[in-house]
Amino acid sequence: MRSTLSFVGTPASQRWRLLAVAALGFAALLALLLVLGRTPYLGIALPSAQFRTALVLHVNFAITVWLLACVASAWSEATSDGFADRVIQFTATLAALVLALTPLLAPGPAVPSNYLPVLESRLFLTALIVFIGTVLASYLRYLLRPAPRPTTVAPARCDDHVPLVLTGVPMLMAVVSLAWAALHLHRVEPHVYWDRLTWGAGHTIQFTYLCLLMLVWLELAAGAGVRPAQGRIRLAFAIQVAPVFAVPLVHALSPVDQPAFRDAFTSLMRAGAWPGAALLALMLLLEARRARVRLRTLDPALTLSMLFLAAGVLIGAAIRADTSMVPAHYHAAVGAVTIALMGVTLRRLAPSAETVRRRGISPLRLYACGLAILVLALAWSGWHGVTRKSPVLTHPLVTMEQTIGMSAMALGGVLAICGVLMFVACTMRGHFAATTQTTSAPFPRRRDRRAVAIASTLALIGIGGACIAWLPRAWIDAGHSDQDDLVHTRFHQAVASMRQGQAEQAAIALHDVLTLAPQLPEAQVNMGYALLALGRPAAARDFFESATALRASQVNAYYGLAAALEALGDLPGAVGAMRTFVHLSQPADPFVRKAQAALWEWESELARQRQTIASKASSAGVRP
């Protein structure tokens, strides 16, 4: 397979690459705000509302715009640069610009839903739909594949189009999942609408990103003379794409608003997302060995990308709660794709990239080093109970382990951001240097179509906004209703579920509450009780401790903390927590009598333990 992402290609593919790199640079600047917002002692620099807005924009530009633009660039390499290509690309650029400017033009509440967080603004939603539509249009344009005109630069085509065709299949399935969910979610609670709407589509689109990663691996390996057989490459891509054909079946068997639906897509991702990529990685390594190519001679981007993908898979398998372990997983997985794309881009930027290498500075290695620290720190913090999607200001750290982990996260984040910004600078410099060198080549003068593209984009956004205005209110007003009422409703649903003995349903509802109001101690306490009922005392202890850190007078948190510590075998800690509960409670509280009975039992047990230890010590002392 020849290059599918080389620097030489159609002007449409080059414009897609420039859009992708610009989106990555903008996401890096937003990431700097997020790092400051989650750094101990600096979290006050970014209030919760601004933190969530920055988080939504960062995820959309660092994943959706960056990766989908790269996929569109790969498809555009095999098409001619006609009028339709220019309109599609300029429309995508303007849509991305509108996404970035939405907080200034038409701000709305941030909804940090999984996979596709959004701002509840008609302008933002319309621009996002338009951008995704342009990527789909580029795929359809690739499928038509008109022959390039003789006057255009010959694109660096893929000898086998099957992998590129298969790369777009998961994206089509994601659209099917999104449409199916939209038809069955008009009666759900507004504040959880987006998370449920995009759950299936968000999982499905990951397969397109992994196919893109596999395409870039083939490009990087080909630079070292490693080329697996065409049939084996097709097999790896077929295995990678095959699980997405189960998407309609999951929708048919499981209602969108049920836990079984979420579990099905989670299992689909865990079991089906990695085998194709793992098989291709094994093929490349075996082919390198057969061709007597040493690993150290392979492009560093290839080996680093494989290592980060493996780390992402392992961390994902270790996720057990909604902690910073989740961003550790997807930062490793997305970082694997980003490293591969950075590597293949730097290989093609001779003027500036070689200058950077001669100075001993490598954007790729700097980014990989920072990303490794970031992923390890997030995984460490998640292991010790740090929640995600909230700044330190609204969810303070309560243990030294959490503080150490988030401090290391800040260090890794800053290094990774510096690597990304250096990469963006190198890419832009290399592109304009290459453009300057080719301006003297004889090209036919073409009519400027940018005005038409701008007008069509504005028209699409206007028409899309008008259409959205007629959609069910749950599409638009999910974040505009009073957040206190939403939290109140979902909180009481959780309490009702606990009273009925449905701890799992209560935990799901409380997760929604904590997403909207992570600083609410009552929600922290009830999540602790739900986890106790599910047999997870260690996680329950963390939530009870977080509740007491947020509000020292939260009486029921101490009762639950004592129960969790007892389950963990820490009787001295349980006694201390229960005594605090008795001290803070009113005498008429019916739980005071139970607490006093538990104290008597625990103190008797501790006395027996001390007597046993003293007896053993005495016996040891009289021995000859």
Distance CA 401, CA 540 (A): 17
For residues 514 and 521, what is the distance between their CA atoms, to the nearest angstrom? 9
Strongest mean pLDDT among 238-242, 356-360, 389-393, 606-610:
238-242
325's tokens? 């372990």
Supply the angle between the helices 83-105 and 11-38 in degrees, to the nearest 10. 20
Between 152 and 279, the higher pLDDT residue: 279
Two structure tokens written together for 386: 């740090």
The predicted structure's pLDDT at residue 473: 39
Residues with Cβ within 8 Å of 229's Cβ and at least 6 positions away in sequence, in order, are: none
In this predicted structure, the answer to whether residue 166 has a pLDDT above a threshold of 90 is: yes
Alpha carbon distance 200, 415 (integer Å) = 33
Between 80 and 203, residue with greater pLDDT: 203
Say yes or no to pLDDT of 103 above 80. yes
Phi, psi for 389 (deg, rounded to 5): 65, 30
* pLDDT for the residue 161: 82
Whether the pLDDT of residue 350 is over 60: the answer is no
Identify the band that residue 388 occupies on the pLDDT scale cut at 50, 70 and 90.
Answer: low
pLDDT of residue 442: 44
Q: Which two tokens stand for residue 198?
A: 């995009």
Lowest-confidence segment of 35-39, 80-84, 290-294 by average pLDDT: 35-39
Going by their DSSP bridges, the two strands 110-111 and 118-119 should be labelled as antiparallel
Whether the pLDDT of residue 359 is over 70: the answer is no
Least confident of 105-109, 157-161, 279-283, 292-296: 157-161
pLDDT the model gives residue 572:
87
Higher-scoring residue by pLDDT: 200, 351: 200
Burial of residue 440, with CB atoms counted within 10 A of its CB: 0-12 exposed, 13-18 middle, 19 or more buried: exposed
pLDDT for the residue numbered 113: 79
Q: Distance (Å, rounded) from C-alpha 372 to C-alpha 396?
A: 24
pLDDT at 226: 87
Q: Is the dihedral of CA 498, 500, 504, 510 positive or negative?
A: negative
Given a contact cutoff of 8 angstroms between Cβ atoms, the answer to whether 325 and 291 are in contact is no
Give the contacts of 437 (CB within 8 A, at least 6 positions apart).
Answer: none
**Summary count for the chain: helices (H), strands (E):** 25, 2
Asked if residue 94 has pLDDT above 70, the reply is yes
Give residue 243's pLDDT: 94
Q: What is the pLDDT of residue 387?
A: 63
Task: Give the CA count within 13 Å in the CB-facing half-sphere of 520.
Answer: 19
Q: Which pLDDT value is given to residue 586?
A: 80
* Whole-number Å distance between alpha carbons of 467 and 326: 35
Under DSSP, the state recorded for 244 is G
- Any residues with CB less than 8 A from the CB of 567 and at least 6 apart, and which? 532, 537
Spell out the alpha helix ranges (H) of 3-82: 11-38, 48-59, 66-76
Residue 119, strand partner residues: 110
Residue 138's pLDDT is what?
Answer: 92
Domain boundaries, the chain: 1-159+447-481, 485-622
- pLDDT greater than 80 at residue 143: yes
Alpha-carbon Rg of the chain, whole angstroms? Answer: 27
> Is the model more confident about 607 or about 472?
607
User: Which residue matches tokens 């990555």?
Assistant: 24
DSSP code of 62? I
Judge whether 156 and 3 are in contact, CB under 8 Å: yes
pTM for the complete prediction?
0.68
User: Are residues 393 and 43 in contact, defined by beta-carbon separation less than 8 angstroms?
Assistant: yes
Arithmetic mean of pLDDT, 282-307 = 87
Average per-residue pLDDT for the chain: 78
Amino acid found at 201: A
Q: What span, in angstroms and rounded, lies between the C-alpha atoms of 121 and 224?
A: 48
Task: Report DSSP letters for 137-200, one per residue.
Answer: HHHHHHHH-PPPPTTSPPP---S--HHHHHHHHHHHHHHHHHHHHHHT-TTS-GGGHHHHHHHH
pLDDT at 251 over 70: yes
Residue of higher predicted confidence among 388 and 563: 563
pLDDT tens digits, residue range 484-518? 556 777 787 788 788 878 887 788 888 778 777 77
Alpha-carbon distance of 444 to 100, in angstroms, equals: 35
Q: Indicate whether 145 pLDDT > 80.
A: no
The confidence score (pLDDT) of residue 413 equals 83
Q: How many CA atoms lie within 13 A of 366 on its CB side?
A: 16
Give the SS3 label for residue 420.
helix
Q: Would you identify the CATH topology of the domain 485-622?
A: 1.25.40
Cβ neighbors of 276 (< 8 A, separation 6 or more) are: 210, 211, 214, 236, 237, 238, 239, 240, 241, 242
Which pLDDT score, from 0 to 100, does residue 491 have? 81
CB of 521 closer than 8 Å to CB of 557: yes
Q: Rounded to the nearest 10 degrees, how much is the dihedral formed by the CA atoms of 407, 412, 415, 417?
A: -100
39-48, 156-165, 192-201, 603-612: segment of lowest average pLDDT: 39-48
Please determine, for residue 475, whether its predicted confidence score (pLDDT) is greater than 80: no
> CB neighbours of 551 closer than 8 A, spacing ≥ 6?
521, 557
